[in-house]
Amino acid sequence: MRRKIVAGNWKMNLDPAGADALFAGIQNMDVADGVELMVFPPSIYIDRLVKAGGVKIGAQDGYIADYGAFTGEVSMSQLKAIGASAVLVGHSERREYFNEDNDTVRLKTEAALNHGLEPIFCCGEPLEIREAGTYLQYVHHQLECSLFRLPLGEFVKTIIAYEPIWAIGTGLTATTTQAEEMHKAIRSWIRETYNDLAAAEYPILYGGSCNPSNAAALFACPNVDGGLIGGASLKESDFAVLAAPATWNTLN
Ligand code: PGA
């Protein structure tokens, strides 16, 4: 039985009062049996949300080095010390706006694991690659250059989020056919790189304009184990639908 996860990526949104109010709503949500909720707030709110309790809190990024002269950065060890339990690595906005390449993403994944943080490794192709038809090769390359370098014992502590860049924040969602094709391919690469058991038990999340009207169909795809949610995680009523038993009851 694979883990099922609904993770909210708040990105650089909300003031402290707004973060507290949204989180209070999340703490009281009716969550489908067996589904884990996770929240990735701006890092300045991690401490207060960890103290508020009840939901796993992660960071949206973390630096490779533990301490030192890296103005503006926050390290994985510092995030762990204030109670974060997970961290996003390689989100396409980090790759695009902050020039994170596959090597950086690999080092961040390793740093997260070294400090006991669960990395959610984000991958996904831009629109021109989707249109050129080479999206499977593109995502395979992203995984080979970083995540698949991990030994099995470390790899199984990670989670993949497939987030096609053309679907992030655009209102364009991958169809269930498109999502399932990629998720199935990712699982087959895990099988080839590691083994059957790792592939069978590994959670792969979908991200990109996932919302109350498309979530049930996406989460019902055989190889989709939940979602990494941006925009819809900022609206309590939308996020509640994604977590709700009714959205997941098509699962067997
Ligand atoms: P979106 O963002 O749901 O707003 O498309 C997803 C993400 O970037 O993780």
Segment 131-145, tens digit of pLDDT: 999 999 999 999 999
Distance 167 CA to ligand 1 centre (A): 8
Segment 92-111, tens digit of pLDDT: 999 999 999 999 999 999 99
| Whole-number Cα distances in Å, 19 to 22, 47, 115, 185, 189 | 5, 12, 26, 37, 38
Residue-level pLDDT at 172:
83
Nearest CA to ligand 1 atom 3: 230
Q: Annotated active-site positions, please? A: 91, 163
Q: Is the dihedral of CA 238, 244, 250, 251 positive or negative?
A: positive
The alpha-helical segments, DSSP class H, found in 72-175 are 76-81, 92-97, 102-114, 127-132, 135-145, 152-155
Distance 69 CA to ligand 1 centre (A): 32
Contact indicator for 192, 148 with CB cutoff of 8 Å = no
Tokens (6 digits) for 21: 């109010």
Segment 37-72, tens digit of pLDDT: 999 999 999 999 999 999 999 999 999 999 999 999
Compute the distance between CA of residue 125 and CA of residue 174 in angstroms, rounded to an integer.
12
Nearest CA to ligand 1 atom 2: 230
The answer to whether residue 238 scores a pLDDT higher than 80 is yes
Residue-level pLDDT at 173:
87
**Which pTM was predicted?**
0.96
Q: Which atom of ligand 1 is nearest to the CA of 170?
A: 5
Nearest CA to ligand 1 atom 7: 230
Distance 152 CA to ligand 1 centre (A): 29
3-class SS shares of the chain: helix, strand, coil, % to 5: 45, 15, 35
Residue 97 makes CB contacts below 8 A (sequence gap 6+) with none
Residues with CB under 6 A from ligand 1: 9, 163, 168-169, 207-210, 228-232
Task: Assign 251 a pLDDT band (cuts: 50, 70, 90).
Answer: low
Compute the distance between CA of residue 105 and CA of residue 94 in angstroms, rounded to an integer.
9
Distance 71 CA to ligand 1 centre (A): 28
Distance 6 CA to ligand 1 centre (A): 12
Between 171 and 74, residue with greater pLDDT: 74
Which of 12, 120, 168 is the pocket-test mutation for ligand 1 (most atoms within 8 Å of CB)? Answer: 168
Q: Which atom of ligand 1 is nearest to the CA of 209?
A: 5
| CA 11 distance to own-chain centroid | 12
Query: Exposure pattern of 31-64 as b/e (b: 16+ CB <10 Å)?
Result: bbeebebbbbbbbebbeebbebeebbbbbbbbbb
Nearest CA to ligand 1 atom 9: 230
Tokens (6 digits) for 198: 């790792």
Q: Which atom of ligand 1 is nearest to the CA of 228?
A: 9
